[in-house]
Amino acid sequence: MKRWLNLSLEELRSLMEEIGQPPHRANQIWTWVWTKFITDIQRMTDLPKKWRDELQNDLVLLPLRIIDSLEEEESVKLLFETLDGHHIEAVILKQDEATEESDDPKKRLTLCVSSQAGCPLGCVFCATGKLGFARNLEVDEILAQVILAEEFILQHPGLFGLSLTTPRKISNIVFMGMGEPFLNWENVQKAIRTLTHPKGYNLGYRHITISTAGIIEGIREFTQWNQPVRLAVSLHSPFRIGRERLMPIAKTNPLDDLMEALREYQDATGRRITFEYILIAGVNDRREDAEGLRKLLLPFKYLLNIIPYNPVEGIDLETPSQGRVKTFLLFLKEAGIHATLRKSRGRKIAAGCGQLGLLWKNREIRL
């Protein structure tokens, strides 16, 4: 079975020569896939018909298929099945906050993609962590989420009431879905190179965000890569013991060492870091947590996102009340910390932060 989306354009050109085709065949395939989102080889009409017929039963450009979708006002969750029967999810989000990249957020869509089937980290607040870990996703499985999301948007004109006139509808990609991107860094990195290729999807590096639970080795490799992809770090507690209780990976990637790696990253790149903080009632919403954040974040240029906990069936944690959220934001303000309260999207369809994975399992789809 040929899976050519695992290859870069340069690798695909070399392959064409190896199999006796002119190198420009790679450019033709690349154009169909990444500017028209066509993955059926028979629809690539500038390729020789005989060759298309030869490839028909042996070429797989899309190693995923959409088997279900759920939609609410500002988000759509897509369920994919891999060729070997695993299930992963991606989420299309309406982007209505102003950002550095656009003065017109009404024309923006963000796609949250997965990098692993399941997740090995076992964070106590996360539905995906309850699934356990199946395997890393291949490059083409990461990229197929983007292509299929683009196809879905094309099939649903006016999604979220937006008018999107450009061929590419997605304006931002965040690796915040199922799995830890830095534990599959080689494949994630190669997928990003394809997504940013100027002759293909042509998404700017700054429109891509990697979200990590704090894998120190991955952050250091990311620093050395030195591309302007944005970095988001799941923090959730300013204290070592508190963070280890919420995120077992913090025991082998200790908070002090993590912050040192992030200082090295910021010294080398000069880029701001986004810190994600899931606010859990009675766990990390105290005044001392706000003061701990002040001390921890003092050396950094940062954005701090406060995300009220999204409930997950079977996890004994609670979402803070609106009053408690306001009180914590006041604690932060008094500590001199600027924070953004993130709007909860996808909660009704279990597409919010920490919720991916279990809804369809409860519908008897094996995950």
Active site residue 334: no
Phi/psi for 9 (5° steps) reads -60, -40
The two tokens of residue 137 are 């996703």
CA dist., res. 22 & res. 118, Å (int): 40
Question: Which residue in the list 112, 119, 126, 353 is annotated as catalytic?
Answer: 353
CA dist., res. 105 & res. 99, Å (int): 8
How far from 339 is each of 26, 108, 266, 290, 342, CA to CA, in Å? 46, 23, 19, 11, 9
Question: Which residue in the list 72, 74, 89, 97 is annotated as catalytic?
Answer: 89
Annotate 247-314 with DSSP letters as a single string: -GGGGTS-HHHHHHHHHHHHHHH---EEEEEEE-TTTS-SHHHHHHHHHHHTTS-EEEEEEEPPP-TT
CA dist., res. 147 & res. 232, Å (int): 24
Active site residue 89: yes
The two tokens of residue 184 are 């599959």
CA dist., res. 113 & res. 144, Å (int): 10
CA dist., res. 118 & res. 115, Å (int): 9
Residues involved in catalysis: 89, 353
